[in-house]
Copies of this chain bind each other. A is one copy, B any other.
Amino acid sequence: MNIPAPYLLMLGDSSDPLSIKTARGIHYWRPEKCLAQLRLNENTASLSLPEMDVKTASENGAKTLVLGTANAGGVLAEHWIPLIVEAISLGMNIASGLHQKLTDVPAIAEAADKYGVTLFDIRHNNDKLDVGSGEKRAGKRLLTVGTDCSVGKMFTTLALEKVMLERGMDATFCATGQTGILIQGSGIAIDAVVADFISGATEALSPACNPERWQLVEGQGSLLNPAFSGVTMGLLHGAQPDALVLCHEVGRDHMRHLPHVEMPSLDDIMSLSLTMATLTNPNPRFVGIAVNTSKLDDAEALTYLNRLSEQYKLPATDPVRYGVASIVDHLESVFGG
C-alpha cells in the first residue's frame, strides 16, 4: 500500500473538531502532503488549509481524496458518494479509514474500475500475509508500548521519527493504525488482520533493512488491556524491538472503556514487555518514557517527569510539551548515533 500524495482532505459536514482528528493528524505530521481541504458547509471544522472542490484540487495536482473523518459507525454517508465518484472521474484515488469498504459501494467500485484509480480501504488489508517466524532481521527497531490504548503511542513514534530525521539519522515510521497509515501513506492496520497473522504482518511491515536504519513501529493497545492484549503481544513479538519507549497518561482512572479494569503500573508493563520481548530479541531495552501530562500544570508535570526519570534511570518527557529529544539522546548513547 502506498497512498499517492498530495491529498485533498475531505472534512465532511460536522462542526465537531474531534470529527476531523484524523485529518488534523495528517496535516500536523505531513503538511507537505496536504494540498487543500474540502468542507461540505461553512460550519464544518477546519484545518485552515486552502479550500478546494474536487475539480479545483484535481487541477492543482491532488492525487488522492482522503476521507479524514471518523463517522459514527464507520459508515459512508450516502450524500458523499456522488462527490467521491466525481473525484474518481477526475483521476483521483480514494483513501478511507471507514469500516465500510469503498469497494463494497457499487457506484464507487465501478467508477474506480472505469477510471483506473485505486481505492485504499486502509482498515482492510488485501496483501497476502504469512504467519510470523520470529527470526532475527537486520536493522534496528523501536516499538512504543503503553499502559493502555490512546496514551500517545502514535504521536510519540512520529515525534521520535521527526527528531531522528532532523539529526540525520536513518529512521522510518511504520504505521499500524488507520491514522498512522494515512499520515505515512503506507502501513498495515494490525488490529484488522486475521488473528493468525498479527506477528507475521508486523514482520512484513518492518522487514530486514540497512543495519543502521531504525524502524519505528507504532504500538497498539496494551499487554494488560484485556480487549486488545492479543494484538499488542503479536506486535511485540513481530517487531522484535531493540528499543522500547513506554507511553502513559497521567491521571487516567481506569483502562479506557473498561471501568472495572485498573490501570496497570509502569513497572508491570515494563517488566512484562521486556520478558515477552526477549522471545524474539535477545536484548530489548527501554530507552525512554513518554507521558501525556495534560491533566497537570507545568510545575506538576515537571515534578512528575523528574521523579519517573530518577526512578527508572531513563529520560521521561511529555512529547507534546517538551518534545522527545531527550529520548533520542539516550537512544544514541545506548545504540550509537
Contact of A148 with B by CB under 8 A: no
Cα–Cα distance between A238 and B132 once the two chains are bound (Å)? 22
Contact call B194/A133, Cβ cutoff below 8 A: no
Q: Are B227 and A233 in contact (CB under 8 A)?
A: no
Docked complex: A99-147 residues within 8 A CB-CB of B: 131-135
**Is A8 positioned at the interface, with any CB of B under 8 Å from its CB?**
no
Give the interface residue-count category, chain A: 35 or more
When the two chains form their complex, are residues A199 and B230 in contact, meaning their CB atoms are under 8 A apart? yes
As for how many copies of this chain the complex holds, the number is: 2
- Interface residues as binary, A184-197 with B (CB distance below 8 Å gives 1, 0 otherwise): 00000011111111
0/1 string, A212-237, CB within 8 A of B gives 1: 00000000000110111111111101
Indicate the member of A132, A192, A280 with the most B CB atoms within 10 Å: A132
| Residues A196 and B191 in contact, CB atoms below 8 Å apart | yes
- Known A-B contacts A233-B233, A272-B275, A275-B272; the reply to A226 vs B195 at CB < 8 A is no
Contact with B along A240-281 (1 / 0, CB 8 A): 000000000000000000101100000000001001100110
Query: What would be 7 A-B contacts, judged by CB atoms less than 8 Å apart?
Result: A134-B260, A191-B194, A193-B195, A198-B230, A223-B233, A226-B280, A230-B234
